[in-house]
Structure 1
Amino acid sequence: MKSESDSELNRKPDSEPNREPDRERTAPLLWLMGAIIVALTWALVFYARDEWNLAQDREEEEIETPSRLVEEDGRAALKIPLAAQKTSGIVTAPLAAATWRAEIKLYGSVIDLAPLIELRARYLAAQADAVIARSALNVSEKEYRRIAALYADDRNASQRALQAALGTWRADQARQAAAKTAIDGALTALRTQWGDVLAEWATTPDSRSFAALLKRDDAIVQIAIPFDVALPEQGAAIMVAPLAASDGERPAQFISPSPNVDSTVLGRTFFYRTDARDLRYGARVVARPDAGDDSEQGVLVPFPAVVWHGGKSWVYVQAEAERFERREVDAQRELDQGWFSPRLKTGDAIVISGAQLLLSEELKYQIRNENED
């Protein structure tokens, strides 16, 4: 027994020195873990700083004075005290009246009048031939009747002379018929290719309208009008300008439908007469029809007043001094300084600065009420 206890006592001094190396190895690990914890703590503080600043900014942007979402007459509204409106930068302005006219651009070209002038010359030549043929026919008819009377009066004229006079008369009849056919053909070509109105101008002696075309005081433009646009009426006017020079706009008066199509533009074609200044044959033109009674009355909603939510566009109308209602507007027809809307009334006060803030405030209270429920 003594020997075993003695051996244990003898081993204790040997084990004590072995613990010192363990402590030496553990100490650096503890220091390293402490350093990592400190570094993570500072990293958390550093990165959370930006979130904290953003949260502070959001709190500053929100309306400091508590606002409440109320419901009156079945309409939800926000009640914002005047002091809170001033602090939050909420600005209102009355709506101004506006008129909406559908802006339609039409396209066409300046018509070369050479074919029209050529057909007119053909028509006039056929008319001249008809006059000559009619005169010759009158002479040959009288000559034939004279010789026929002599031949009947005891053969005072030969049968050969009678037959020659008859042949001349019939030839003149044929020439007159041919001249009439030429006149009808030229007139038909004029009406088929240029319409009744221009055909009448071309065939009327001393026509002032056609004379203006010949002197290049006026020009004919062919305008293509889409099928979904109302047809022009006799005497209706549009504004036309060279395609590359819109500042050269001038009025053009309706003449008639055009029998020809425009290969570059779809739609029905019509002839218009306009000032020939700076217009060359074949030049492309752009036209703007008069909207007439198609205009619509409404209001101009400034761009900053419109907020978007749920796929729709809204504005906040100041129903009372401290009461704001969100109403839907039609933000599809754009004007120079805002949207055209027929839903609101002229003079209604709407929020033109701070509308997004009101929307956030309204949604915040809606979420709060839903959570309370």
Structure 2
Amino acid sequence: MKARAFWLPLVGLSVFLVLNVADIAVADDDDPPVSVLGAEATVTVSPEAVTKSGIASARPSIVPWRKLVPAYGYVLNATQLITLVSDYADMKARLESMQAQQTLARAKLDRDKGLYRDRQNISQEQFQETTARFQSNSAMVKAEQVRVNNALNIIRQQFGSVISDATEKNTIFITQLLQQQVVLVKVTLPPDTDLPTPPSQADVTDYGNTGGHGTMLHYLSPVTMTDPAIQGRSFFYFASAESQLVAGMNVSVLLPTEEERPGIRIPASAIIWLQGKSWIYRDNGHGKFTRLPLTTDVPDREGGYLIQDTPGQITHETQIVVERTQLLLSEEFRAQLESGDDDD
């Protein structure tokens, strides 16, 4: 059967991309240029060609790897919280102004009380007016204190004690929130999943339909109310406003657990993308390179991805191609095309 193909530019070359690898016949030579076993394709390249083209292989580095829990993220519209925090700040400023006036009124009352009691240097009417002003100031201070406490309680009920305490102390986070330098993300676990201790950091792995990843989230506090649609535990995280996160966005989040295992780092230079999937080439030695699928669930902040050892596939002892990987893919397609033409 003749393979169907279309042109695809790869590293300055034009090669045929075979759409149906399973239909390609394998050559009968002892070392065919491309052999296909299941989903794996092995390319055979002469040692001279490997050296001349600059194809280089190396063992992936070992890195700590933690079991990851997938979760649902929703970027909150912080307008309500910003309004509540701003209202609280205004009320607190008024309260402090009233308290200052009350301090002055108390001092005047004490002074007038002495003047009236000792020698009656002021009239009874003046003393009564001073007393009334002090009592009026005291009543206004108490009323404003109630409003301030109520405003703080509303923040506590809706966003938790951590955010309400930060509001009361006017921390750096609150300043950043008011200046829109950070965004809030509500992260919800699946209903059958629990984390005894939420991690201090988490990774956004997908921005809805945009395909972005790599934004770091920082833990803030538990959420006081669960998501009615998911019914899992929820947490507040925040990220820099310079990230690609915007209000109303649904994102995928990975939360690392405390269970740490050895993992390996696959550098970006080793990865090729084909038909929406990621692949790497394993160097089998003697000029043979096998294309293997790569799991991209855990992006590496330095580029590339982190994976666990997979015996029989990729381990920390596996030699993988880290330079000129695209040339191997070009050679694979070229050899497959020639093999298909020979079957005509």
TM-score by length of 2: 0.52
| Paired position in structure 1 for 2:75 | 110
Cα 1:296/1:134, change in 2 over 3 Å: closer
Contact 1:108 1:284 survives alignment (8 Å): yes
| Paired position in structure 1 for 2:162 | 197
| Paired position in structure 1 for 2:244 | 278
From 108, 114, 125, the counterpart of 1:149: 114
Output aligned runs, 1:330-341, within 5 Å: none
| Paired position in structure 1 for 2:93 | 128
Aligned residue pair count: 212
2-structure distance, mates of 1:212, 1:288: 25
The Cα shift of 1:137 comes to: 1.2
Q: What's the secondary structure of 2:228's corresponding residue?
A: coil
Q: Does 1:224 align with 2:188?
A: yes
| Paired position in structure 2 for 1:239 | 204
| Paired position in structure 2 for 1:293 | 259
Q: Which amino acid aligns with 1:259?
A: T
Identical residues among aligned pairs (%):
23
Kindly report the root-mean-square deviation, in angstroms, between the aligned alpha carbons of the 2 structures: 3.8
Contact 1:101 1:295 survives alignment (8 Å): yes
From 190, 215, 221, the counterpart of 1:250: 215
Contact 1:116 1:190 survives alignment (8 Å): yes
1-structure distance, mates of 2:178, 2:105: 39
Contact 1:130 1:176 survives alignment (8 Å): yes
TM-score by length of 1: 0.48
1-structure distance, mates of 2:159, 2:111: 47
- Post-superposition Cα deviations, 1:154-174, rounded to whole Å, max 9, x if no partner, equal 433222222211111101111
From 171, 174, 189, the counterpart of 1:210: 174
The Cα shift of 1:341 comes to: 9.6
| Paired position in structure 2 for 1:139 | 104
Larger strand share, 1 or 2: 2
From 151, 170, 177, the counterpart of 1:186: 151
Cα 1:278/1:101, change in 2 over 3 Å: closer
| Paired position in structure 2 for 1:37 | none
Contact 1:120 1:203 survives alignment (8 Å): no
2-structure distance, mates of 1:153, 1:145: 12
The Cα shift of 1:190 comes to: 2.1
Contact 1:239 1:251 survives alignment (8 Å): yes
Q: Which amino acid aligns with 2:173?
A: S
Contact 2:66 2:259 survives alignment (8 Å): no
Larger helix share, 1 or 2: 1
Q: What's the secondary structure of 1:247's corresponding residue?
A: coil
From 165, 171, 192, the counterpart of 2:130: 165
Contact 1:234 1:255 survives alignment (8 Å): no
- Of the two structures, which has the highest relative contact order with CA contacts closer than 8 Å and spacing of 6 or more? 2
Q: What's the secondary structure of 1:293's corresponding residue?
A: strand
From 244, 261, 266, the counterpart of 2:226: 261
**Any stretches of 5+ residues in structure 1 without a counterpart?**
1-99, 298-334, 347-373
